[in-house]
Amino acid sequence: MVGMSGGVDSSVAAMLLMEQGYDVVGVTFRLWHLNDEFDELRAETCCSLDDVNDAREVCYTLGIPHYVFNYKDLFRERVVDYFVEAYRKGHTPNPCIACNRHIKFDAFLQKADDLSVDCIATGHYARILQDAQTGRYALKKALNLPKDQSYVLFTLTQKQLARTLMPLGSFRSKDEVRGIAEKNGLVVSRKKESQDICFVPDGDYTAFLERYTGEQMKPGPFVDKEGRTLGEHRGIWNYTIGQRKGLGLSFPQPMFVVDIRPEENAVVLGISDEVFSDRLTAGELNWIETDSLKDARRCKAKIRYAHTPADAVVSMLDDGTAEVRFDTPQRAVTKGQAVVFYDDDTVIGGGTIQ
């Protein structure tokens, strides 16, 4: 079963697996529905009715069955509600990681078991390889590094890796993938990629949170690290760590968001140096290279999707969390984002920054 979003990547993945001799079934997930207003906003984002129709047409072209699985309730519970609660805590969540963890691999693989399907497949840009000696599966970066998605896949387990195929991981360019789609007459060959969170397509997180929760953001104080009031903010959902623009205040020197304190409804500002951190702690850990981390491990640590992995040492603490110490302080370490550990192109594991 191939998870087909109606985009070019998953469509080509299905076609490639057919060429490799697999019996392929296309599956599209219905993930989001709130009301007509939100559906209208979502017309150009993933998982819309248009995407379902595109996936269905690709399956018709390929001559394979197409099914739609309804995961709306699970998506609301495990992705959207998680997103909202993270913002309430003053964190900056990554809903794509939550969706991969709970929907695109966990629930999808359970459905595969129910239907006696051998493998699931996706259009992700990453590679899965098995060690011939140990039998353990490794998650590796895609050869197309600008498109690599291994960061958002760090939650995959050995069971999931053993049953998952990612045929695009060995392609070196997106143009090559589009060329295959165009050559084979797939209607999605030139379809634009969706860049936004699927349930917040206009990128206005604050407006979404207010509509979804029925709560209105309350103004509160900008403060420095010593608690001195510097001005008034427009509500904590409007800010994230490292932010400089859009503060609505002027200072003799540039000021940045360095912390968010929801219990005080306060946003903490500091100078550039105060945005940098030489360490972090992370929980909700998942290890891929090994079952657990026993000794301190030197690695490259990536603290957000667009971050260049930095030299660091990761070690376990007595409370079951991990501590990461960077060789060089890193900018805007943000609670709620993932930190993922690499050994060259191989994912060691990862967790959620606390």
Catalytic residues: 99, 198
Torsion of CA 205, 211, 216, 222, to 10 degrees: 0
CA-CA distance, 304 to 336, in Å (whole number)? 10
Long-range contacts of range 195-201, CB-CB < 8 Å, 24 or more positions apart? 196/45, 197/95, 197/96, 198/31, 198/32, 198/42, 198/45, 198/46, 198/47, 199/31, 199/32, 199/38, 199/42, 199/79, 199/80, 199/83, 199/95, 201/41, 201/42, 201/44, 201/45
Tokens 């891929």 sit on residue: 288
Residue 75 parent element (H or E): helix 72-75
Look up residue 345 and give its amino acid.
Answer: D
Kindly report the backbone phi and psi dihedral angles of residue 139, in degrees, each rounded to the nearest multiple of 5, phi listed first.
-105, 125
* Structure-block tokens of residue 14: 């299905």
Rg (CA), the chain: 22
CA-CA distance, 241 to 97, in Å (whole number)? 19
CA-CA distance, 201 to 147, in Å (whole number)? 21
Residue 230 parent element (H or E): strand 229-233
- The SS3 assignment for 144 reads coil
Question: How does DSSP classify residue 106?
Answer: I
- DSSP states of 271-289 as a string? -GGGGEEEEEEEEEEEESS
The answer to whether 299 touches 312, Cβ cutoff 8 Å, is yes
Tokens 């966990």 sit on residue: 106
Tokens 């099914």 sit on residue: 67
* Structure-block tokens of residue 33: 């529905």
